[in-house]
Structures are given as structure tokens and as C-alpha cells.
Amino acid sequence: MIKLVATDIDGTILGDSGEFTSGVKNCIQTMQEKGIKVVIVTGRMFAAAKQIAKRLNLTTPVVAYQGGMIKKSADSDEILYDACIPVDDVKQIIRWARENNIHLNLYANDILYVEKDNSTIKQYASRQNLDYKVESFDNIELSHVNKLLAIDYTDAEKVTGWINECRKSMPHLYIVKSTPYFCEFSTTDATKACAIRVLKEYWNLKDDEVLTIGDQDNDIELLKAGGISVAMGNATEELKKYADYITDTVDNDGFVKAMEKFVLCSK
């Protein structure tokens, strides 16, 4: 019996419209009413993730930064888990981005910083309804950075090249493509699998009581941690290799169909 559903946000329960379908909202409400815990597990910063949790009326812990931070709920300041990137690694990533003229988001103490106020950050912040600060990274205290994000909205192949390059030069970090245009940096202790382990211990759950669902390569660790793992129909081909089941697309309420098949069927 599934007791925890751990779900990605973008491309899984939320499509390009930025609005949740009535099917998704009703499904999540029904699961909660039946005592099934629903947790969002996202690469978004906590400030953005908590907005999603509130829109869905979730009172469960919120997993942000790929698993780099878990807070007790959207309204809580209590941190259940926190994993930061070592300062020397942060500085290396900053140097790499500057040398290659790459846009870089830096997340320190759940504040989003950029060095240039350009179209890239405007598009990113608008999509996630976020504020940001423009500041030289040299002026920021770098001891509590959960994630860095390199972005190029115009060239997905270039982003893939960044992933391959940086994995070679910084093999000790967790570097992953979370959308075709995002190259994310965190520690190996800040993955979605790490978050699931924390949640299983928090609620004393067994592997077969957890269902995980996602759509992008950063969800590989999420799917590997689930007793039942589901890939969206719009998922990357790589992610689908790790799925027990491939559901419909986000635009066709694939999340809802998967929940009806594996979670609500026996309730």
C-alpha cells in the first residue's frame, strides 16, 4: 500500500500553462483525505516551492534544491535536512561561468542572486514568481549555498555540453540537467534520492510504501528511490529507463492516471 507520493513539479503536475488542472488538484486532495502523504520534490528554491505547496494545500514537508533542503512545511522555518556546496566548489563554478560568459543563478540562504540583470533572469523569475538580487558574487557570503544554476534558453545542446564538461572537471559534485536549458550544481548529498531517504526515516516508511514520479534527468535519483517509480509520458528517454511504469503526458493528466492506477485503486 502506498503511503507516500513524492512528485516532481514542472512537467509532472504542472504544465507550461503554469496552472494546475482540476484533475491534478482533485487527485491530490483525494489522496490527502485518504491519509496518503503527498510531497513535492523539486529543484526549485524553497521560496518558489512553498508557493506550489500552498496552492495545493499541502502541509507535508517541502523538498527544494533537488534535495538540498527539506523544511517541515511550506509555513515552517524548521529545517529537516540541509546540504550546502563547499565554498571552494562554489568559487570554482563562479569562475567557470564568468570565463565562459554563462548566466549563473546563485542561491544563498534561500535568496536568489545574479550578477547581471538580463533577459534570462527576468524570464526565470517571472516563470517562478520570484524576487532576485543583483550583486557581485564576490560580495556574497558563500558558506550556505544550496545550489547554482547555469542557464541558456536558446541552446539545449550547449547546456548538455556544460554538463559533460563540468562532470569531468568537478566529478565530486552532483551536476544534472533539470530542463533542456538548465545545468544544476549541488553536492552528492543533495539529490532527490537523499530526500526520499530522509522522508522514509521521518515517517518510518518501507520502500514499497513510496511512489515516486517525475519527467526530467534530475528525477532519475527520485525514481531510483521509489518502491514504485513512474515516468511521465513527456519524460526524457533516459528517465524512462528507470521507470516501472510510463504514464500519460502532463497535458493529459498523466499524474492523475498514475495515481488512479497505483494509489487510489486500493483505497
Q: Give the pLDDT confidence of 159-171 residue by residue, as tens digits.
A: 999 999 999 999 9
162 shares its domain with 237: no
Examine the fold and report which residue of 158, 187, 216 is the final residue of a domain before the chain moves on.
187
Query: What mean pLDDT, rounded, does the chain reach?
Result: 96
Please write the tens of the pLDDT for every residue from 214-233: 999 999 999 999 999 999 99
The residue whose grid cell reads 530542463 is 179
> How confident is the model at residue 196, as a pLDDT?
97
- What is the value of pTM for the model shown? 0.93
Please write the tens of the pLDDT for every residue from 169-217: 999 999 999 999 999 999 999 999 999 999 999 999 999 999 999 999 9
Residue type, 111: I
11 shares its domain with 76: yes
Examine the fold and report which residue of 187, 211, 229 is the final residue of a domain before the chain moves on.
187
179 shares its domain with 168: yes
Q: How many domains does the chain have?
A: 2
Indicate which CATH number applies to the domain containing 228: 3.40.50.1000
Residue 122, C-beta contacts closer than 8 angstroms, at least 6 positions apart:
none
- The CA distance from 72 to 145, in Å, is 20
To the nearest 10°, report the CA torsion of 138, 141, 147, 148. -10
C-alpha cell at 58: 499541502
Q: Name the residue range of residue 246's domain.
A: 4-82+190-266
